[in-house]
Structure 1
């Protein structure tokens, strides 16, 4: 149940599992606000970008200033958590975009591949492997034995110097994803099976390629709310 004194977390309500994220956050004591316009971003303590179709989300918001408002807030330090399509939107570089490019919010120094795991019929659940790094303790806490649900998910092919991998899986790309990745000089994406990053963090940005809101395990939302509370208490 939401706490009257809990942090106010916005949930982008354009597409995706908005209600599920709201329910998890409320259960952890956060207040929530569904975000559809630039004005909704004002006053929030954190922001969740749910799954959906990243290209469609970008098209639906073109010209209304919402992406620019969110980008400015993230650049200013607002904690943000992107799941699935939200990961793509927060990536600095996305492979497999529509012709002419795709509106991205950016901020996460990585190369991601849209729909790396294929169509919705290719969706599956797989345990995660925690990676090392400065936040190794956090990674082990949230990734160990975690039942990650992937639905037409992206994957991070390469993390930049500023971006830290938190979890990975070893899997082959879907046939539809490999050509797009190869076209963008990421020929390694065509390898039958490889380790890809499916959760990462860079400062105030947290992303997962999977859908924690569709499970009963709240560890990833707990980690995000810890980021939010650290900023609001500081």
Structure 2
């Protein structure tokens, strides 16, 4: 999705490689698998440090869970680092298990674009937010896309149906981070591809 919008992807395997980035995508997958595989390298605390320093982060599905400050059913993640920073409460698999995955048509404001279908796959439910969290889309009475500062997050997988609205918004956020870092500097992004493997937990991209 980001390549189609103009980004070139490169591999990122170590926490120190986050230092040169203005944006990070934490993707869908299995939140416990991501947390377990990232733990030996201290990767998620390193992501939080870069987030606190101004890096933009976009989390989808499992990424939303790892960014949430509170998880209603956190037993599976007990003892493992998360990223945090997003002032919401989520519930893992809140929309059901794999066989209950579905597509829904959403309007994501304030872009004023026609509603488009997105995919919910074992998706987490956002159970509550605080006043500092902007809700960008709702489904079934719950927020499903939110933004807080340099964090963008969604319960669903926009890339599966080709909906690039949130990706474009994320690139704008990363560009703001780059501008704050150094005037005229190129935007540098990192993108995790699915549940990370032990040798290659993240991949990065640089927007030309």
Query: TM-score by structure 1 length?
Result: 0.71
57-66 or 142-151, which moves further after superposition?
142-151
Higher relative contact order (CA 8 A, sep 6+): 2
SS in 2 for 1:59: helix
Structure 1 pair 61–142 and aligned structure 2 pair: CA distance change class (3 A):
farther
Instruction: Write the mapping of 1:81-92 to structure 2, written as runs, cut at 5 A.
Output: 81-92=58-69
Tell me which structure has the larger Cα radius of gyration. 1
Name the structure 2 match of 1:64.
Answer: 41
Is 1:158 aligned to 2:128, yes or no? yes
The alpha carbon displacement at 1:44 in A equals 1.4
Any runs of at least 4 consecutive aligned residues in structure 1 with deviations exceeding 6 A, and if so which?
Answer: none
Name the structure 2 match of 1:211.
Answer: 157
Is 1:122 aligned to 2:92, yes or no? no
Unaligned runs of 5+ in 1: 1-23, 131-138, 171-194
Unaligned runs of 5+ in 2: 181-208
The alpha carbon displacement at 1:148 in A equals 1.4
- Summarize deviations over 1:110-163 as a string: whole Å, max 9, x none: 111111011111110011255xxxxxxxx2327741211100000111001221
Instruction: Write the mapping of 1:61-210 to structure 2, written as runs, cut at 5 A.
Output: 61-98=38-75, 101=78, 102-130=80-108, 139-141=109-111, 144-170=114-140, 195-210=141-156
Name the structure 2 match of 1:44.
Answer: 21
Q: Would you tell me which structure has more helix in proportion to its own residues? A: 1
- Mapped to 1, the partners of 2:52 and 2:149 lie a distance apart of 10
Structure 1 pair 72–143 and aligned structure 2 pair: CA distance change class (3 A):
farther
RMSD: 1.8
Aligned residues: 179
Structure 1 pair 38–126 and aligned structure 2 pair: CA distance change class (3 A):
same
- Mapped to 2, the partners of 1:144 and 1:84 lie a distance apart of 23
